[in-house]
C-alpha cells in the first residue's frame, strides 16, 4: 500500500499560544490526544512541532486515511494561515512512532524546518546532524530522534 505524506506550517490560535507551549494540559494537549485517537484508526502517523506561536506538522499514511486526517486539519480552529509545504508519495513511513505527538521546539528550529527544502521528502542515507544544506525531512528527523531513541543498555 503506497504511503503518502503532507507537511504544513500555520499560526497557532491565541488560546493555544497563551497556554505556554501546551504544558498546562490546555487545549493543545486535548487536540493532539484527539488527533492521535483518530489517526490510529486511519493508519496515520506524524508529529507536530510547536514553538509557542507557530506549528509545523508532518503526517503520513495510506492515501484515504491521510486525506481524511488532513481534511480535519484544514477545518480546525486551532490554527490559521496554513501553508502547505509539500504533499506527495513517500516510499516508506519516515515517522512510524506515534499516531500524533507534539514536540516543543525553539522558534529558530521551527523556522529552519519550515524554510527547508521538502521536495520529494528527501532524506539522504546517513544524514543525522542538521547541516546548512539539510532537507526538511532531515531536520525533522534530527528534532524527533532524541524522543524515539532506545534507552541505553550500557552499565555505568
Does the pLDDT value for residue 151 go beyond 60? no
Q: Is the pLDDT of residue 114 over 90?
A: yes
Domain ranges of the chain: 3-148
- Mean per-residue pLDDT, 9-38: 82
Which region holds residue 58: left if phi is over 0, alpha if psi is between -120 and 50, else beta?
beta
pLDDT tens profile 70-103: 999 999 999 999 999 999 999 899 999 999 999 9
Between the two ends of the chain, the Cα-to-Cα distance in Å is 44
Write out the H or E segment, with its range, that includes residue 71. Answer: helix 63-74
Segment 36-79, tens digit of pLDDT: 999 999 999 999 999 999 999 999 999 999 999 999 999 999 99
Is the distance from CB of 4 to CB of 62 less than 8 angstroms? yes
Q: What is the CATH number of domain 3-148?
A: 3.30.70.100
- Average pLDDT taken over every residue of the chain: 88
Greatest Cα pair distance in the chain: 50
Q: How confident is the model at residue 128 (pLDDT cuts 50, 70, 90)?
A: low
Amino acid at each position: 500500500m503506497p504511503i503518502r505524506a503532507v507537511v504544513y506550517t500555520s499560526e497557532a490560535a491565541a488560546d493555544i499560544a497563551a497556554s505556554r507551549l501546551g504544558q498546562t494540559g490546555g487545549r493543545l494537549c486535548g487536540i493532539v490526544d484527539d488527533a492521535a485517537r483518530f489517526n490510529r484508526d486511519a493508519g496515520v502517523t506524524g508529529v507536530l512541532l510547536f514553538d509557542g506561536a507557530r506549528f509545523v506538522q508532518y503526517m503520513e499514511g495510506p492515501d484515504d486515511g491521510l486525506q481524511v486526517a488532513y481534511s480535519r486539519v484544514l477545518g480546525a480552529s486551532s490554527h490559521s494561515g496554513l501553508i502547505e509545504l509539500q504533499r506527495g508519495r513517500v516510499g516508506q513511513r519516515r515517522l512510524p512512532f506515534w499516531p500524533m505527538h507534539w514536540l516543543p521546539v525553539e522558534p529558530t528550529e521551527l523556522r529552519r524546518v519550515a524554510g527547508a527544502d521538502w521536495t520529494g521528502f528527501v532524506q539522504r542515507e546517513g544524514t543525522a546532524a542538521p547541516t546548512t544544506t539539510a532537507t526538511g525531512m532531515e531536520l525533522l528527523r534530527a528534532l524527533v530522534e532524541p524522543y524515539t531513541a532506545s534507552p541505553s543498555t550500557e552499565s555505568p
